[in-house]
Structure 1
Amino acid sequence: MHLLQLFTVLVVGTSLACAVISQASSSETNTCSVVACGMPGLPGRDGRDGAKGEKGDQGVGLKGQQGSPGKAGPPGPMGIQGPSGEKGLKGETAAIDPVQNQVTALENKLLALQTEFNKYKNVVLLQGLTVGQKTFFSTRHHDTFNNGRALCAKAEAAMAGPKNAAENAALHELTKRDSKYAFLAITDTQTEGKFVYANGAPLSYTNWNEGEPNDGNRAEDCATILAENGRWNDLNCDHKSLIICEL
């Protein structure tokens, strides 16, 4: 505001000065404008904006380092399940040899049986006596001759029948442990007075007590071994005696 007033004063003063100079000089015109007198005029209006210039070249500068990633946003909703793919080709069936499977199964079964047999064999060896290829064991059970044979057969064994003095000594030892006498697999049921092994084979060894077998009218058709001396005596087959088996 002050500048505008000052500017107005200057313009008015200059106009008056020009008027005085015009009157004093006859060789000059009788008019004097502000422009002719060299004084600046009032500022004009702002011109219109010019046309937009062309885009300048991109400046060259170093690329700044990438900033640290921001926090992960919340998971979006689950998308729609896509269509099922095509069914693949059927794989090849492995070739199976049925014979080989059977062989393997039999081998496993044989191994299990062998293990079971060895377990029972060890028990028998602990409780029995072995002579050569035979093992004798006492069942500690007293029964008739026929029941005794069935009991031994159930254990996959046979009723003991000594073939020599060594086997007879083993049977004598087992009899002394558990009873006064034990049945032997020797009878004369097939032919009276002719004792043979229970399987029908002729005797290869005998050890009868003095005066035995005497049978008489008592139907003493089965042989027993006596605990007192290891010798044999004939006895009724229905009598209950100690049962000894052999493997």
Structure 2
Amino acid sequence: MILLILSSLVLVVPAQKPTSSPAQRILPGWFPNACTLVICDPPERDPKELEVLRTHVSVLEAQLKALQMSTRKTHRAFLGYIFPNSTNVGAKTFATNGAEADFQTAKEMCEQFGGQIASPRNEEENNAVLKLATMFDKHAFLGMNDQETEGIFKHLNGDPMEYSNWAKGEPNGEHEDCIEMYLNAKWNDNTCDKHRLIMCEF
């Protein structure tokens, strides 16, 4: 919208002393010496000009979409280089490079590349993590822990754990805040300073 002050529409009133009395107002809602600001609609554009603008917008949208696709392909290729061993479950990709680290280091490494420590939410995802862990014959850290409240394990984003696959008698450690996966797919709570297979999900 374009704001214009139209002199022909300005209300001209002799100067008066300011007053709060409604009876001395010139018009309802108007005070002496007030000016009127008129809002005008912009002039109509040429239909041909609008069509050209729409074409430019469509071209820019197509270029943006192509750039996004290229970026995703580049990112996937980069992840494939860093984590050469991976498997897909639905929209998730679980991946590892065989390296081991404590929980915090594993968490930071996964986050560095745009992911998080693998946090299986169903049996299919749990089996996908097992498949990769078995390739290296190593126990893997999972992304759930009870560091916030003892005995209440949550995902890293704060979601409660609705799926679990604890080994018999687990969890059982008061100071064992992290979860590792055994090579039989069962879970065990353990201390977070242990070195376990880094398993990320993207």
Residue 166 in structure 1 maps to residue 135 in structure 2: no
Residue 149 in structure 1 maps to residue 104 in structure 2: no
Give 4+ residue runs of structure 1 displaced > 3 Å after superposition.
102-112, 120-126
Which protein is bigger by CA-based radius of gyration? 1
Q: Distance in 1 between matches of 2:178 and 2:148?
A: 11
Whichever residue aligns with residue 232 of structure 1, its letter is W
Distance apart, 1:104 and its partner CA: 9.5
Whichever residue aligns with residue 196 of structure 1, its letter is K
- Deviation track 1:86-143 (CA, whole Å, cap 9, x = no partner) reads xxxxxxxxxxxxx9xx989967754542341242366689621111111111131100
SS class of match (2:198): strand
Residue 246 in structure 1 maps to residue 201 in structure 2: yes
Conserved? CA contact 1:157–1:246, under 8 Å: yes
Residue 225 in structure 1 maps to residue 181 in structure 2: yes
- Deviation track 1:10-57 (CA, whole Å, cap 9, x = no partner) reads xxxxxxxxxxxxxxxxxxxxxxxxxxxxxxxxxxxxxxxxxxxxxxxx
Q: 1:115 to 1:209 in 2, by over 3 A?
A: closer
Q: 1:171 to 1:107 in 2, by over 3 A?
A: closer
Q: 1:200 to 1:122 in 2, by over 3 A?
A: same
Distance apart, 1:204 and its partner CA: 1.6
Aligned to 2:96: 138
Aligned-residue Cα RMSD (Å) equals: 2.7
Q: 1:162 to 1:104 in 2, by over 3 A?
A: closer
TM-score (norm 2): 0.63
Q: Mapping of 1:173-212 within 5 angstroms? A: 173-212=131-170
Q: 1:168 to 1:124 in 2, by over 3 A?
A: farther
Q: How many residues align?
A: 147
Q: Mapping of 1:6-155 within 5 angstroms? A: 110=68, 112-120=70-78, 127-155=85-113
Distance apart, 1:179 and its partner CA: 3.4
Distance apart, 1:241 and its partner CA: 0.5
Q: 1:243 to 1:118 in 2, by over 3 A?
A: closer
Aligned to 1:20: none
Aligned to 1:22: none
Gaps of 5+ in 2: 1-56
Aligned to 1:33: none
Q: 1:122 to 1:238 in 2, by over 3 A?
A: closer
Q: Distance in 2 between matches of 1:143 and 1:125?
A: 15
SS class of match (1:184): strand
Higher relative contact order (CA 8 A, sep 6+): 2
